[in-house]
Amino acid sequence: MMQYLKRHIKLLLVVFGLLIIPSISFAAWYHSSQSGVWTAGATWSKTSYPNSGDGVVVESGTTVTYEGVLSWTGGQIEVDGGTLIINGDLDLSNVSLYIKNGGTLIVNGNLITNRSLSINGTLTVTGNVSISGDLGQSSGELTVGGSLTVSGDHSMSSGTTASITGSYTVNNSYIYGVLWVGGDATISHQLSTGDVSAVVDVDGSVSTHYIYVNSGIVVIDENLTVSGQLGADGILVVGGDYQVISGAATYVSTNHFFVFGSDNCTSGNCSNIGDQAAWEAQGSPGEAYINTTSTFWDDHLSNAGNTEGMTKVCSSTTFKVEAVTTNAGNLENNLFEWAVYGGTIASFNGAEVTSNSTTYEGHTASYLGVSGVGGTSTYTITVDWTETDFDGAYVAVRQTSEDGCTDGLWSVYTIEVGQDNVAPVIGDLVDENATVNTINCTANATINFDFDAVTDDGNLVFADPAYRYTINGVEKTGNSASISDEFPVGETIIYWTVEDMCGNTSEEATQKVMVSSPISITPITYDDNSSATGAGSGIQPVQTSTHTYEVDGGSAEAGYSYSWQLFADANEDGLVDNYSSPINSGLSFDPDNDAQTAIEFSTLASGSYVLVVTKSSGCSATAELPILVIENSYNAVLADFGDHCQAGETDTPTTMTWEVTFSGNGTAPYNFDYTVDLMDDGGTSITACSGSVSGITQTALTADLTLTSGCSDTSTMPFMQVLKTDNSSYKVQLKYTIQSVTATNFKINISIAASDTYSVHEISEQTVGENSEELTSSGVPNTSEIQTD
């Protein structure tokens, strides 16, 4: 029987589909302009021929031949519809190799590449193939005369073929096409099929962690060793022994998994493993085993050759059964019959049907017979279960003989009916640590999902979990048990979910990929200016303030550059907003690459920001500091408040009064410095003095203020006074008194410079003159008033 099955497995070739990492630049590009030898200039679009590091394209309609070993470092080789023949080994280092648009690459030797390989054409290698990456097949054929070794994953699309004469060694094997292996197969993680036309034929033994025959056929001539889970919704046949590593769990679908040797099963659902007799009782594909039957509704009980089956049906109330054959051409006169106990048959091959239903021994029974269904190898019914707790339920199928007169044995799948509406649970996943190993300062790492961390209620977990993660603001999603990517320095979080066979989806579980930079940088330190963490400090600066920030002790480390940037934090979470650009206006700081910078928060709007410093030398490391800028848009206005001239005699004083008003969003107490310059009528300075006023709050009065004056209080020199009589405003009066000896005209200039409690100068849109005054006065009593220029 085994030989019968293998005779109908086509040993075809396989096409690879791999992610190629493109080169950055090439010395020159060469396109084949006609068929010929590689080393002839006439073969190419240039007068010379390509050398290592160049870009090469073998165009459609041309055949290029290379004699000897071709060792190629850097650059790119594209077989774009044409044919490239290497009569020797092909050794590629950091070379992007493409076989596309039906191109053909023939290597009469060994093929070695340290990158992934993608093929949309034909690849034939007489020796061994070694790929340090992934191997993907989207279309076409692959023939390997020796062994195939893939450090990553091997994936085959439907319609592709692969023929490996020697051994087969990969990480994951996802087969939708036809794969033949002449030697042993070693799959580190998972072997799975995903198409009804998928065929895997291994002449030797297979060793793997997981094997999922979701559909199609897998035939192993010798032994099968599994250290994890096994699922066989398609057909899995083992010609030798089946070995389960101690402690591993085995989950199988009845009548789909058959062992001709010893099953050696010591854990899991061992009773669900069939044997040679069970396989032959079903009938080899395309054949019928004859017996006589009575009426249908009791025939299923007496002729049921196999009685173990699924333990639950899905909460969607549908269940699928596939009858598989590889000899579809002989089925045109056959009759296929399905029987369901405990439910009704709702559809056949996706089309809605009306089945013959009745009640048998108190339970719903349904029958469907279909004839003339030749030309296809898969027949599918969908069952709607009418009962949720009936351990005698089943689905059965049989095929009559070719003449339609005799019946085959029923193959029965018993169901312990129960609704599966419980989602699987992903336990704790181990975080991965990686180190930088690329020139881009990233870690080229492969992260494998840990199926052992998943618990479910007995149904199979889908082979490929869903994942999502974000690198450099770009979210990546997909379905795979293995993720290979270049992870940046820092922490990347992968979010995983899994589905069981009924579509119940787990909650997301997280797994971190942590990449450490080879460059170290200290946290950002800042001056306090007011307090270590409060308003006015470097971590909470007010507008117009200036602060100093440092890393690495304030001294640039030799050989490194330092770049400072400020980003918005609209979410107020202490993180740089996604897709945001650095802020280039409203602040200023030293543009030099130095470990220390002073930042002036001038007209920058209040709110949350993140200060980022990047230390670079090939790779880079960053330090970040969340900053909250506090609004400080107050204004100070100086206004003339009148005068009092000499009282009619020489040596009596003249007093000038000004009012200073603070408004806006500053932080009290306020302060201001003043300067007064007394000049004669011609503008020559007679005397100048300056001072300061501090302690101005809304409730303060004169006694609460502090006046520091440089204006002397003598009989010949002017003096200064400050008054505040209103305890509900920020207004003060400044009085300047002149002891004039003789009557004369004179000018007075006064100006102030205001600041708040954080020594921050005002932000305003004031016109010139609001903070300064120029007055003209006469020393003769009652002859003139003070004029404001």
- Give Cβ neighbours of residue 535 (< 8 Å, ≥ 6 apart): 542, 630, 667, 758
Choice among 33-47, 331-345, 352-366 with the minimum mean pLDDT: 331-345
Query: 3-state SS string over 577-623?
Result: CCCCCCCCCCCECCCCCCCEEEEECCCCCCEEEEEEEEEEECEEEEE
CATH number of the structural domain 635-788 = 2.60.40.2550
Q: Are 107 and 84 in contact (CB under 8 A)?
A: no
Q: Is the peptide bond before 669 cis (omega within 30 degrees of 0)?
A: yes
Spatial distance between the Cα atoms of 163 and 181, rounded to a whole number of angstroms: 6
pLDDT digits (tens, 9 = 90+) for 128-186: 999 999 999 999 999 999 999 999 999 999 989 999 999 999 999 999 988 999 999 99
The CATH class that applies to domain 296-420 reads: mainly beta
Buried b (16+ CB within 10 A) or exposed e, 184-213: bbbbbbbbbbbbbbbbbbbbbbbbbbbbbb
Closest C-alpha among 524, 458, 420, 529 to residue 758 = 529
* Residue spans per domain, the chain: 2-242, 296-420, 437-454+464-516, 525-629, 635-788
Spatial distance between the Cα atoms of 686 and 212, rounded to a whole number of angstroms: 102
Predicted confidence (pLDDT) at residue 318 exceeds the cutoff of 90: no
Domain 525-629 has CATH 2.60.40: yes
Question: Hey, which residues does 600 pair with through a beta bridge?
Answer: 546, 588
Buried b (16+ CB within 10 A) or exposed e, 307-336: ebbbbbbbeeebbebbbbbbebeebeebbb
CA 413 to chain centre: 43
CB burial class (10 A; 0-12, 13-18, 19+) of residue 153? buried
pLDDT digits (tens, 9 = 90+) for 506-517: 999 999 999 988
The mean of the pLDDT values for the chain is 76
C-alpha distances out from residue 124 to 64, 87, 145, 167, 468, Å: 15, 12, 8, 16, 36
More confident residue, 745 or 785: 745
Mean predicted confidence (pLDDT) in 93-97 = 91
Record: fold of 437-454+464-516: Immunoglobulin-like (2.60.40)
Q: Do 525-629 and 635-788 show the same overall fold?
A: yes
Spatial distance between the Cα atoms of 395 and 366, rounded to a whole number of angstroms: 10
Grade residue 375 by pLDDT with cuts at 50, 70 and 90: very low
Grade residue 665 by pLDDT with cuts at 50, 70 and 90: confident
Residue 323 tokens, joined: 């009858």
Predicted confidence (pLDDT) at residue 305 exceeds the cutoff of 50: no
Spatial distance between the Cα atoms of 664 and 405, rounded to a whole number of angstroms: 101
Q: Are 108 and 126 in contact (CB under 8 A)?
A: yes
For the chain, the maximum distance between any two Cα atoms, rounded to a whole number of angstroms, is 147
Residue 550 tokens, joined: 């440092």
Closest C-alpha among 217, 361, 194 to residue 285 = 217
C-alpha distances out from residue 221 to 34, 231, 236, 237, 323, Å: 47, 18, 11, 8, 23
Q: What is the DSSP string of 362-399?
A: TEEEEEEEEE--TT-SEEEEEEEE--SS-TTEEEEEEE
Predicted confidence (pLDDT) at residue 410 exceeds the cutoff of 90: no
pLDDT digits (tens, 9 = 90+) for 470-484: 998 899 999 999 999
pLDDT digits (tens, 9 = 90+) for 528-586: 644 445 677 788 888 777 788 888 888 888 888 888 888 989 888 888 887 788 887 77
Spatial distance between the Cα atoms of 18 and 9, rounded to a whole number of angstroms: 26
- Give Cβ neighbours of residue 248 (< 8 Å, ≥ 6 apart): 226, 227, 228, 229, 267, 268
Spatial distance between the Cα atoms of 649 and 643, rounded to a whole number of angstroms: 17
Secondary structure of residue 732 in the 3-state scheme:
strand
Grade residue 746 by pLDDT with cuts at 50, 70 and 90: confident
Measure the CA angle with vertex 194, ends 193 and 196; round to 5°. 100
Closest C-alpha among 513, 606, 597, 591 to residue 554 = 597
- What pLDDT is recorded for position 654? 78
Predicted confidence (pLDDT) at residue 77 exceeds the cutoff of 90: yes
Predicted confidence (pLDDT) at residue 274 exceeds the cutoff of 70: no
Total-model pTM: 0.38
Spatial distance between the Cα atoms of 210 and 220, rounded to a whole number of angstroms: 15
- Give Cβ neighbours of residue 65 (< 8 Å, ≥ 6 apart): 36, 37, 38, 85, 87
pLDDT digits (tens, 9 = 90+) for 577-635: 877 888 877 777 765 556 666 677 766 778 899 999 888 887 888 889 999 888 777 88
Spatial distance between the Cα atoms of 411 and 409, rounded to a whole number of angstroms: 6
pLDDT digits (tens, 9 = 90+) for 686-700: 888 899 999 999 999
More confident residue, 588 or 774: 588
